[in-house]
Amino acid sequence: MKILVTGGLGFIGSHTVVELQNKGFEVVIIDNLSNSSTAVLEGITSITNQLPLFENIDLRDKDAVHNFFEKYTDIAGVIHFAASKAVGESVEKPLLYYENNIGSLVYLLQELQNLPEAHFIFSSSCTVYGQAEKMPIDENSPIQAAMSPYGNTKQIGEEIITDVTKVSNIKAILLRYFNPIGAHSSAAIGELPLGVPQNLVPFITQTAMGLRKELSVYGNDYPTPDGTCIRDYIHVVDLAKAHVVALQRLLDKKNIEKVEIFNLGSGVGSSVLEVIEAFEKVSNQKLAYKIANRREGDVTMAYANTDKANSILGWKTQLSLEEAMESAWKWEQKIRS
Ligand code: NAD
């Protein structure tokens, strides 16, 4: 029995492959290398001593997806990471995002609905909550209109999966990630942002490395204790482990509903300045940053209520913000050396 990990050479996917292999699962990766490289296979193998199976397939190719399931008839579960994820780019190229994130999902589900049973884990996002009224955000918090085509693909994706599970033997878990950061402690795998990073932590580490002149902190006049935006940063290794636990829940038939939803965060909100401070502490250096204007589309604060994941999945984060910053820094230094 194999587990298919789509986008398994990407940031979260590669860490999840490691955790799956650590638990004894045999993994097949589908990735089209649009935001990754086969070097990640070496990184994974250096940690686990196991080379995962790899298929270079573009999930937008319906025939290729069909042929994959003809070739692999023993897929026990699918963890679907593959997607385009740059919010800004999605505003510029909405159809690319709808084609990639929705088209790929539909083709996968079309194959899975023909199987006697299928177990499906979907990468969703806390962006579905927009600026929630109540903190911390629990899974019943209302879904808000998406602020970008990327965000919309996550909402539509959740709806498509929910509809399909009603008329098929697909059982699904939708995981709403907060802000994944960090890297594997070995520095053998990590995040590889293309171009100028959109996310805070790679921007911090690239600035400290001298690749960027300074970090812009977008706004220090938000209604938060230090005026900067608050997010829930979750170590990617903790996040990866949650996928293994969620998959196991489906395989063990412990799910109560055909679609279950869990927030995956640390439950702690950290401001931009607190993240900078954590970085300065672990790297023992001052970071060059300036306060800039607010950035359009940023919510003031978002952090997770993790009670449901804690009690039902039996999963809890184990790694701190500082450990995440330390691993991200180690990774940045390694890839630039
Ligand atoms: P990533 O870009 O590092 O990984 C995605 C992988 O999917 C890449 O290796 C890419 O080459 C591959 N891919 C993309 N389109 C493909 C296609 N058509 N066919 C085959 N492979 C394809 O991204 P990530 O940060 O690891 O994110 C994984 C998932 O989690 C995505 O669905 C993303 O939207 C979601 N997510 C990420 C974050 C975050 O901050 N990183 C937050 C919330 C949700």
* pLDDT tens digits for range 303-327: 999 999 999 999 999 999 999 999 9
* Catalytic residue flag (residue 222): no
Which residue out of 6, 31, 266 has the highest number of ligand 1 atoms within 8 Å of its CB and is therefore the one to mutate?
31
Whole-angstrom Cα distance, residue 236 to residue 180? 5
Q: Which atom of ligand 1 is nearest to the CA of 180?
A: 40
Q: How many CB atoms lie within 10 A of CB 198?
A: 14
Residue 337 is predicted with a pLDDT of 87
Encoded tokens for 293: 């204007």
Domain that holds residue 246: 2-181+234-265
Mean pLDDT for the stretch of residues 130-143: 95
Render pLDDT for 199-227 as a digit per residue (tens, 0 to 9).
Answer: 999 999 999 999 999 999 999 999 999 99
Q: Whose CA is nearest to atom 22 of ligand 1?
A: 82
The pTM of this model reads 0.98
Residue 195 is predicted with a pLDDT of 87
Mean pLDDT for the stretch of residues 263-271: 98
Q: In angstroms, what is the span from residue 247 Cα to ligand 1's centroid?
A: 18
Question: Token match 């929705």: residue?
Answer: 102
Mean pLDDT for the stretch of residues 97-118: 97
Encoded tokens for 212: 């960027």
Q: Quote the number of domains for the chain.
A: 1
Residue 335 placed within a domain: no
Render pLDDT for 56-72 as a digit per residue (tens, 0 to 9).
Answer: 999 999 999 999 999 99
Residue 255 placed within a domain: yes
Residue 162 placed within a domain: yes
Residue 98 placed within a domain: yes
Q: Which atom of ligand 1 is nearest to the CA of 100?
A: 18
Q: In angstroms, what is the span from residue 285 Cα to ligand 1's centroid?
A: 31
Contact present, 239 and 315 (Cβ < 8 Å): no
Render pLDDT for 166-191 as a digit per residue (tens, 0 to 9).
Answer: 999 999 999 999 999 999 999 999 99
Show Cβ contacts of residue 205 under 8 Å, excluding neighbours closer than 6 positions: 279, 328, 329, 331, 332
Q: In terms of Cα–Cα distance, which of 326, 19, 57, 33 is closest to 181?
A: 326
Out of 107, 129, 150, 233, pick the active-site residue: 150
Q: In angstroms, what is the span from residue 26 Cα to ligand 1's centroid?
A: 21
Q: In angstroms, what is the span from residue 7 Cα to ligand 1's centroid?
A: 6
Residues written for the chain: 337
Residue 194 is predicted with a pLDDT of 84
Q: In terms of Cα–Cα distance, which of 128, 154, 152, 151 is closest to 141?
A: 128
Whole-angstrom Cα distance, residue 137 to residue 135? 5
Residue 280 placed within a domain: no
Residue 275 placed within a domain: no
Residue 193 placed within a domain: no
Whole-angstrom Cα distance, residue 177 to residue 14? 16
Report the CATH number that the domain containing residue 97 is assigned in CATH: 3.40.50.720
Q: Whose CA is nearest to atom 44 of ligand 1?
A: 125
Residue 158 placed within a domain: yes
